[in-house]
Amino acid sequence: MTVALITGANKGLGYETARQLIERGHTVWAGSRDVARGEVAAAALGARSVQLDVTDDASVAAALRTIEAHGEGLDVLVNNAGVSGDRAVYGVTGAAALAVFDVNAIGVIRVTQAALPLLLQSENPVVVNVSSAFGSFAAVMDPQRPVSQFPNLTYSASKAAVTMLTVQYAKALPQVRFNAVEPGFTATDLTPQAKGAGQPVADGAETIVRLATIGPEGPTGTLQERGGVLPF
């Protein structure tokens, strides 16, 4: 039995990733900052709910203790929790930027570091970090890609950090498969300025699930989208 932990799993891509993994027979811990919302989502999914705020060291540690106490280990970590930040360059403050990085990038470090002792006991440990084409130099400089037309200071920089963290973890820990994912422009509440636009959330979760279910021979240290590897 494969056991997975997904952060930010009570809605959007995290929820759909959980649904697809459960459909494939995996056991899923649905991490959620809000306990009530997390429990409702987990009940609907058939997942296990665990309170997990990626900006809080104590919350992260408690969540991993809860998972460890069940005695089934942890095979897959999906660092999905994220915030969009403010697109307006002139409105960005240091405090606002720190808040975005705390969730999107530092949150990946907090959860990954806490999960590593369990992951390293797995026969096939896998980590998937939800990144973005906004964090890819190649994508944002390609006029054929929509992300090249929309400046987004803190979100883009934080997602570039997520991809670099993925590469560095992969180099440091070759026994774990680490990959970053660009899920594509997906209709979730992280895109309120284009509400109703974007691909269905099931399509957005497809690449996350694909990389969450790779074997020991699978890729590591990559940034991938639906069509394959996305240059960083």
Q: Which residues are catalytic?
A: 155, 159
DSSP collapsed to 3 states, the chain: CCEEEECCCCCHHHHHHHHHHHHCCCEEEEEECCHHHHHHHHHHHCCEEEECCCCCHHHHHHHHHHHHHCCCCCCEEEECCCCCCCCCHHHCCHHHHHHHHHHHHHHHHHHHHHHHHHHCCCCCCEEEEECCHHHCHHHHCCCCCHHHHCCCHHHHHHHHHHHHHHHHHHHHCCCCEEEEECCCCECCCCCHHHCCCCECHHHHHHHHHHHHCCCCCCCCCEEEECCEECCC
Asked if 57 and 38 count as a contact pair (C-beta separation under 8 A), the reply is: no
Dist CA 78 CA 96 (whole Å) = 25
Task: Say how far residue 216 (Cα) sits from the centre of its chain.
Answer: 20
Asked if 68 and 118 count as a contact pair (C-beta separation under 8 A), the reply is: yes
